[in-house]
Amino acid sequence: MKISVLKLSCVCLLLMFCMSSTLVFAAQKVNINKATAVELVTLKGVGEKTALSIIEYRETHGLFKSIEDIVNVKGVGQKSFAKLAELITVTDEAPKQ
């Protein structure tokens, strides 16, 4: 009986942690004009290679004018953009209250 309660407690703590970290990440968009590779890989579907491609594209072609411009980066297509659209920005936005 004690083992079951302990397992349940661990699962509840893990769930609470996951939910709270998701809320933290969702509260602030990633600025693709300023983000480091470390910040970019926090985005769903963006790995190290894609993060480096985003930075390389930005350095070669200049700042992104709109979030839609990210589809010009090798490895980022329309499907990837659809997943990223709500998570990225090209401006410094204040969190909505």
Question: What is the model's pLDDT at position 28?
Answer: 86
d(CA 91, CA 94): 10
Q: pTM of the entire structure? A: 0.68
56-82 pLDDT, tens per residue? 999 999 999 999 999 999 999 999 999
Question: Is 2 part of any domain?
Answer: no
Inside any domain, residue 71: yes
Q: Which residues pair with 31 in a beta bridge?
A: 89
Instruction: State the CATH number of the domain containing residue 49.
Output: 1.10.150.280
Count of domains for the chain:
1
Q: Is residue 22 in some structural domain?
A: no
pLDDT per residue as tens digits for the range 25-60:
446 899 999 999 999 999 989 999 999 999 999 999
More confident residue, 24 or 62: 62
Domain with 62 in it? 28-89
Is 65 inside any structural domain? yes
Is residue 22 pLDDT above 50, yes or no? no
Query: Which single residue is written with the structure tokens 């699962």?
Result: 11
Write down the pLDDT at residue 20.
Answer: 47
